[in-house]
Homo-oligomer: A and B are copies of this chain.
Amino acid sequence: MHALILSASHAPLEYSSIDQPTQSVDYETVELHAAALNHRDVFIQQGLYAGIKFPCVLGSDGAGFVNSQAVIIYPALDWGDSPSFQGKNFRVLGMPDQGTFAEYIAVPRENLFPKPSHLSWHEAAALPLAGLTAWRTLFSRCMVKKGEKVLITGIGGGVALMAAQFAVAVGATVYVTTGSEEKLFNAAALNIAGGVNYHDDDWDKQLKQSAGGFDVIIDSAGGDGFARFPAICNPGARIGFYGASLGKVNGLSLQPVFWKQISLLGSTMGSPEEFKQMLDFVEAHQIRPIIDEVFSLERGNEAFAKMEKGKQFGKLVLSIKK
CB within 8 Å of B: which residues of A? 82, 84-86, 141, 222, 226-227, 235-236, 241-244, 247-255, 257-268
Given A85-B236, A263-B263, A254:B258 Cβ within 8 A: no
- Rounded to whole Å, the gap between the CB of A227 and the closest CB of chain B is 8
Bound complex: CA A249 to CA B230 (Å): 13
Bound complex: CA A257 to CA B265 (Å): 8
- Rounded to whole Å, the gap between the CB of A65 and the closest CB of chain B is 34
- Pick the contact of A259: B227, B263, B268 (CB < 8 A): B268
Bound complex: CA A252 to CA B247 (Å): 9
Top-4 shortest CB links A-B: A258-B266, A257-B266, A85-B235, A264-B264
A265, B263: Cβ atoms closer than 8 Å: yes
* CB neighbours of A252 from chain B (8 A): 248-250, 252
11 extra A-B contacts, CB within 8 A, seeds A84-B236, A243-B254, A248-B252: A226-B254, A244-B254, A248-B253, A249-B251, A249-B254, A258-B266, A259-B266, A260-B266, A261-B266, A261-B267, A264-B265
26 sampled A-B residue pairs with Cβ under 8 A: A82-B236, A84-B236, A85-B235, A85-B260, A86-B235, A141-B263, A222-B254, A241-B254, A241-B257, A241-B258, A242-B258, A244-B253, A244-B255, A244-B258, A247-B253, A248-B253, A248-B254, A249-B249, A249-B251, A249-B252, A259-B268, A261-B266, A261-B267, A262-B266, A264-B264, A264-B266
* CB neighbours of A227 from chain B (8 A): 248
B261, A84: Cβ atoms closer than 8 Å: yes
* CB neighbours of A86 from chain B (8 A): 235, 261
Bound complex: CA A85 to CA B226 (Å): 22
Bound complex: CA A266 to CA B262 (Å): 5
- Pick the contact of A263: B247, B249, B251, B264 (CB < 8 A): B264
* CB neighbours of A235 from chain B (8 A): 82, 84-86
* CB neighbours of A261 from chain B (8 A): 84-86, 266-268
Bound complex: CA A222 to CA B259 (Å): 14
Q: Which residue of B lies closest to A262 (CB)?
A: B266
- Rounded to whole Å, the gap between the CB of A50 and the closest CB of chain B is 12
- Rounded to whole Å, the gap between the CB of A155 and the closest CB of chain B is 19
Given A82-B236, A86-B235, A258:B249 Cβ within 8 A: no
